């Protein structure tokens, strides 16, 4: 990065506001960013920090009620405010391109892929349709899409999510832009698919020399893909620097707080608990006059921190800036905030036992082809031969990607579906064939669920308190209105929400608060088993820590068995006692957390571990990227379900025979054809360098980012 080059992009003191009924709301202010050619800069922040607003502002596409109210944005040295609409139009798509979060929504459902791709070249470069077609096929190849011709002649809905996103990336790269904006490009994708796309993005920036701005809330992704990072909070950049500087020597308390609330490999809930950031993100019109992070900061000093804080250069660390007046006073080594502590629980007898459970769905095939061949109905084997158990007070995590059958399992447990075979025992009672309407009240209240989407988990038409009271009355915990009211308040206390919330409607609560109500509702009936279906995936990072902590806190007090469904291996490692890894309806591996996270691994687990981005510079990871797409549960591959993507496939046996379930000792089961000696000689996927990330000694091994 030589200083004599012109930066590709320069944002100087940019402020952006939205105009609502309530007046002008500043979404971003005092924002500075420089991107040099070939550089990849990551913008990190939680919802409402303004990162997506910045991306759209760079594109000069603010919509009807947004405007850049101050500062300048220079592209290749030219101030974008001086450009006419026509000039901007020429730049968009050819020199600055964007990749969006939801690939399906970004592609026109009524146009063929070929039209959407070729038009970029035809319009911007004036070449012929045929020439454009050839170039497009080349780029599709570069993004590693197999069979580009078929894809060109398809409609978007005929492709999978991962393929769609690659198409969007191809579309952005067609005219070799100088700057590529990526706004959460992999959030909507499965972990193993995400790993492939991330690798692709890294590859592209190397090959074509494209500068990138990568927007994400995932610190681990930024570490893996970017050279520099900008951390945003409530509309401002609070820390900027190159990735090593910031990750190893954080200076701003918010950055610090973010890192402490992410489960890193070194953390575990008993000895190194997560520390959530206290307080809440302020609404844009309620921002404090001084440091915006002040109210939530443990180092706030009246008199110094309540005036607006400028970005300060960190002495001795060129290129590293932080928006904190006390940055050199804070001794991070001595700072040990009280985390969510927990004593280890000794598990009791088994409460939930699943033996050989099957759940098949019948699909009626009414096409002409089926009528001819005589196969009118087919089966989707959503759950096949599931076998595991959970003990009292234990947390068992079910891990897998889409189509693995974890939601089906939850539905069978809750009685929304009936199992097709096998047994599901709750405290000895068989419930697999008992749909909800046949279950006795005692059973219903002892087996409850916390749902994934906090925005849909509460009925918007009724008050929060009414909904909790209803649950209490239904479960027989409260006999009349007064008792219900009393117990509702007790539950609100338990989830650490103010009692006035009982009168509020759900839309007046934030996502994290709604999820706490969901938890209160699930535990209202003194449940013995609570299923948590991705309870924190839809929440911001700092809120996740708090809600996760709440869940484990309650579980510990009540000795509830928690079945924690997730795709996020970092959280799972932090929380779970035992782990069950599922793929396409089968259990691939199960064991204690330590057993699953260290070798021997099932090849799928190995790939899954390698795919999860980790925000720790001291960690080295093996690099395994799976090829191909997640197969559809309607059309599972013959033999081992994983054989189409398995990097350790031995040969024909994987394609013909279902693998045996091997016991690697102590109940650690792996379903694989690999011989035992190969399994035991596997190397660990994740190696942790040191535990204290603030140690200033350089790490022994640093993976080169590329």
Binding mask 47-66 for another protein (x = CB under 8 A): ------------x-x--x--
The stretch among 115-123, 318-326, 582-590, 644-652 that binds another protein (CB under 8 A) is: 115-123
- Residue 94 binding another protein, by CB under 8 A: yes
Number of residues that bind another protein (CB under 8 A): 72
Nearer to another protein, 549 or 591 (CB): 549
Q: Quote the radius of gyration of the chain (alpha carbons, Å).
A: 27
Beta bridge partners of 70: 15
Query: Rounded to the nearest 5°, which phi and psi values hold at 165?
Result: -65, -35
- Residue 562 binding another protein, by CB under 8 A: no
Beta bridge partners of 35: 9
- Residue 144 binding another protein, by CB under 8 A: no
* Residue choice 34, 67, 119, 434 for contact with another protein (CB under 8 A): 119
Pick from 483, 444, 448: which is nearest to 558 by CA? 448
**CB-based contact 182:168 (threshold 8 Å):** no
- Residue 283 binding another protein, by CB under 8 A: no
- Residue 365 binding another protein, by CB under 8 A: no
The footprint of another protein on residues 366-385 (CB under 8 A) is 366-368
CB atoms within 10 A of CB 606: 22
The footprint of another protein on residues 398-417 (CB under 8 A) is 414-416
The stretch among 118-126, 204-212, 238-246, 314-322 that binds another protein (CB under 8 A) is: 118-126
- Residue 497 binding another protein, by CB under 8 A: yes
The footprint of another protein on residues 341-360 (CB under 8 A) is none
Strand order in the sheet with 429-430: 377-391, 350-364, 421-426, 429-430
- Residue 151 binding another protein, by CB under 8 A: no
Nearer to another protein, 447 or 609 (CB): 447
Q: 3-state DSSP call for residue 31? A: strand
- Find the shortest distance in angstroms from Cβ 65 to another protein: 11
User: Strand ranges (DSSP E) for 314-391?
Assistant: 321-322, 350-364, 377-391
Nearer to another protein, 273 or 276 (CB): 276
- Find the shortest distance in angstroms from Cβ 442 to another protein: 11
The stretch among 379-387, 451-459, 635-643, 657-665 that binds another protein (CB under 8 A) is: 451-459
Query: Rounded to the nearest 5°, which phi and psi values hold at 39?
Result: -95, 150
Give the H or E element holding residue 152: helix 148-152
- Residue 22 binding another protein, by CB under 8 A: no
The stretch among 42-50, 364-372, 419-427, 672-680 that binds another protein (CB under 8 A) is: 364-372
Q: How many CA atoms lie within 13 A of 115 on its CB side?
A: 9
Neighbour-count burial of 419, counting CB atoms closer than 10 A to its CB (0-12 exposed, 13-18 middle, 19+ buried): buried
* Residue choice 79, 456, 663, 676 for contact with another protein (CB under 8 A): 456
DSSP state of 563: E
- Residue 129 binding another protein, by CB under 8 A: no
* Residue choice 285, 376, 499, 623 for contact with another protein (CB under 8 A): 499
C-alpha distances out from residue 377 to 70, 367, 405, 655, Å: 63, 11, 20, 25
Say how far apart CA 33 and CA 42 lie, in whole Å.
11
Pick from 12, 63, 61: which is nearest to 35 by CA? 12
The stretch among 212-220, 235-243, 349-357, 495-503 that binds another protein (CB under 8 A) is: 495-503
- Residue 257 binding another protein, by CB under 8 A: no
DSSP state of 326: T
- Residue 551 binding another protein, by CB under 8 A: no
**CB-based contact 605:672 (threshold 8 Å):** no
Nearer to another protein, 193 or 546 (CB): 546
Pick from 505, 558, 568: which is nearest to 533 by CA? 568
- Find the shortest distance in angstroms from Cβ 293 to another protein: 15
* Residue choice 25, 123, 325, 699 for contact with another protein (CB under 8 A): 123
The footprint of another protein on residues 167-206 (CB under 8 A) is 168, 171
Query: Rounded to the nearest 5°, which phi and psi values hold at 686?
Result: -115, 125
The footprint of another protein on residues 504-533 (CB under 8 A) is 518, 521
- Residue 475 binding another protein, by CB under 8 A: yes
- Find the shortest distance in angstroms from Cβ 280 to another protein: 6
* Residue choice 8, 382, 449, 468 for contact with another protein (CB under 8 A): 449
Say how far apart CA 42 and CA 54 lie, in whole Å.
12
* Residue choice 47, 69, 160, 280 for contact with another protein (CB under 8 A): 280
Per-residue 3-state assignment (H helix, E strand, C coil) for 441-486: HHHHHHEEEECCCCCCCCCCCCCHHHHHHHHHHHCCCCCCHHHHHH
């Amino acid at each position: 990065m030589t200083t004599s080059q012109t930066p590709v992009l320069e944002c100087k003191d940019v402020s952006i506001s939205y105009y609502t009924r309530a007046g002008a709301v500043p979404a971003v202010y005092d924002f500075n960013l420089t991107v040099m050619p070939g550089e990849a800069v990551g913008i990190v922040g939680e919802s409402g920090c303004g990162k997506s607003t910045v991306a759209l502002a760079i594109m000069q596409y603010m919509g009807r009620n947004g405007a850049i109210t101050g500062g300048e944005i220079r592209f290749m040295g030219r101030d974008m405010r001086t450009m006419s609409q026509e000039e901007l139009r020429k730049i968009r798509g050819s020199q600055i391109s964007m990749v969006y979060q939801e690939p399906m929504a970004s592609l026109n459902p009524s146009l063929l892929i070929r039209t959407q791709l070729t038009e970029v070249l035809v319009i911007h470069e004036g070449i012929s349709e045929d020439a454009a077609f050839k170039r497009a096929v080349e780029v599709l190849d570069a993004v590693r899409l197999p069979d580009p011709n078929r894809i060109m002649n398809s409609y978007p809905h005929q492709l999978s999510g991962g393929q769609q996103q690659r198409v969007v990336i191809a579309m952005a790269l067609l005219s070799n832009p100088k700057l590529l904006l990526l706004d959460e490009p992999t959030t909507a994708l499965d972990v193993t698919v995400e790993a492939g796309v991330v690798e692709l993005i890294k590859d592209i920036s190397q090959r074509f020399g494209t500068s990138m701005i990568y927007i994400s809330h995932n610190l681990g992704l930024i570490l893996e893909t970017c050279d520099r990072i900008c951390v945003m909070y409530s509309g401002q950049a609070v820390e900027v620097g190159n990735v090593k500087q910031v990750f190893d020597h954080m200076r701003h308390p918010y950055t610090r707080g973010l890192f402490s609330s992410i489960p890193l490999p070194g953390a575990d809930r008993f000895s190194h608990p997560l520390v959530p950031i206290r307080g809440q993100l302020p609404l844009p019109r309620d921002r404090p006059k001084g440091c915006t992070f002040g109210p939530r900061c443990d180092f706030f000093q009246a008199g110094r921190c309540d005036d607006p804080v400028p970005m300060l250069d960190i002495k001795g660390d060129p290129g590293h800036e932080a928006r904190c007046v006390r940055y050199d006073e804070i001794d991070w080594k001595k700072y040990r905030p009280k985390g969510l502590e927990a004593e280890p629980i000794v598990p009791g007898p088994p409460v939930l036992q699943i033996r050989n459970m099957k759940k098949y769905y019948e699909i009626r095939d009414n096409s002409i082809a089926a009528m001819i061949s005589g196969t009118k109905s087919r089966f989707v084997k959503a759950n096949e031969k599931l076998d595991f158990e959970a003990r009292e007070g234990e947390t068992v995590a079910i891990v897998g990607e889409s189509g693995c059958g974890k939601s089906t399992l939850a539905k069978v447990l809750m009685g929304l579906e009936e199992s097709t075979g096998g047994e599901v025992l709750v405290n000895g009672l068989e419930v697999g064939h008992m749909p909800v309407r046949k279950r006795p009240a005692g059973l219903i209240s002892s087996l409850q669920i916390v749902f994934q989407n906090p925005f849909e988990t509460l009925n918007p038409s009724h008050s929060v308190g009414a909904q909790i009271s209803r649950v209490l009355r239904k479960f027989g915990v409260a006999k009349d209105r007064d008792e219900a009211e009393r117990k509702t308040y007790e539950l609100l206390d338990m989830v650490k929400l103010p009692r006035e919330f009982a009168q509020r409607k759900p839309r007046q609560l934030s996502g994290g608060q709604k999820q706490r109500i969901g938890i209160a509702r699930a535990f209202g009936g003194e449940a013995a088993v609570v299923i948590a279906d991705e309870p924190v995936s839809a929440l911001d990072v700092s809120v996740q820590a708090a809600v996760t902590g709440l869940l484990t806190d309650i579980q510990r007090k009540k000795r509830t068995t928690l079945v924690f469904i997730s795709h996020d291996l970092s959280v799972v490692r932090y929380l779970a006692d035992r782990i069950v890894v599922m793929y396409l309806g089968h259990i691939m591996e199960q064991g204690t957390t330590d057993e699953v996270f260290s070798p021997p691994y099932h090849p799928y687990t190995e790939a899954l571990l390698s795919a999860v981005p980790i925000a720790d510079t001291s960690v080295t990871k093996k690099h395994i990227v799976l090829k191909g797409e997640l197969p559809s549960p309607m059309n599972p591959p013959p033999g081992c379900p994983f054989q189409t993507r398995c990097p350790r496939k031995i040969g024909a046996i994987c394609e013909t025979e279902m693998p045996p379930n091997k016991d690697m000792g102590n109940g650690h089961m792996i379903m694989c054809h690999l011989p035992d000696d190969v399994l035991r000689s596997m190397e660990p996927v994740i190696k942790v360098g040191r535990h204290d990330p603030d140690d200033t000694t350089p790490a022994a091994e640093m993976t080169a980012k590329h």
